[in-house]
Chain A
Amino acid sequence: MKKVTGPVPPPADVYADLVREAAGGDPAAMERLLTRVQEVAWRFSVAVCGHADDAEDAMQEALLKTYRYTSSIREPEAFRPWLHRTVKNACLMNRRKRVHEPPRLESLDQPRADGDGATFDPPDPRRNPEQLVANTRLKGRLQQAMRGLPPSQRAIVFLREMQGLSTREVAQVMGISEDNVKTRLSRARKALQTALERPAR
Chain B
Amino acid sequence: MTTPRRRPPVARPARRSSAAPPPAACAQADQLWAYLDGELPPARARAIARHLAACESCGACARRLRTMLETCRAAGCRKLPADVRARARERVRALLAAARKKT
Residue B1 CB within 8 A of the other chain: no
B101 interfacial contact with A, CB 8 Å: no
* Contact among B73, B88, B95 with A164 in the assembled complex (CB-CB below 8 Å): B73
User: Is there contact, CB below 8 Å, between A47 and B89?
Assistant: no
* A135 touching B74 in the complex, CB below 8 Å, given contacts A4-B63, A63-B92: yes
**Nearest neighbor of A143 in chain B, beta-carbon distance:** B75
- Contacts A7-B38, A63-B95, A186-B30 given: A42-B74 contact, CB under 8 Å? no
B80 contacts the other chain (CB 8 A): yes
Query: By the criterion CB–CB under 8 Å, are B72 and A121 in contact?
Result: no
> Would you call A8 and B70 a contact (CB within 8 A)?
yes
A51-87, CB < 8 A from B: 55-56, 59-60, 63-64, 67
Using a Cβ cutoff of 8 Å, how many contacts connect chains A and B?
138
Check B64 for interface membership: any CB of A closer than 8 A.
yes
Number of interface residues of B (CB under 8 A): 45
B82 touches A56 (CB 8 A): no
Provide the bound-state CA to CA distance between A197 and B10, in Å: 12
Would B67 and A138 count as touching, CB distance under 8 A? Answer: yes
Chain A interface residue count: which class? 35 or more
Please provide the chain A residues from 157 to 172 with a CB less than 8 Å away from any CB of chain B in the complex: 157-158, 161-164
For residue A9, CB closer than 8 A to chain B, the reply is yes
Cross-chain contact of B80 among A10, A42, A114, A142 (Cβ < 8 A): A42
Q: A-side interface residues toward B, CB under 8 Å?
A: 3-11, 27, 30-31, 34-35, 38-39, 42-43, 47, 55-56, 59-60, 63-64, 67, 108, 112, 114, 116-121, 135, 138-139, 142-143, 157-158, 161-164, 186, 189-190, 192-194, 196-199
Question: Quick check: is B87 within 8 A (CB to CB) of the other chain?
Answer: yes
Q: Can you identify 26 A-B contacts, CB atoms within 8 angstroms? A: A4-B63, A8-B38, A8-B66, A9-B38, A10-B37, A34-B96, A38-B92, A42-B88, A43-B76, A59-B91, A108-B78, A118-B79, A118-B80, A120-B78, A121-B79, A135-B74, A142-B71, A142-B72, A158-B76, A161-B72, A161-B73, A162-B72, A162-B73, A189-B33, A189-B65, A197-B7
B75 touches A120 (CB 8 A): yes
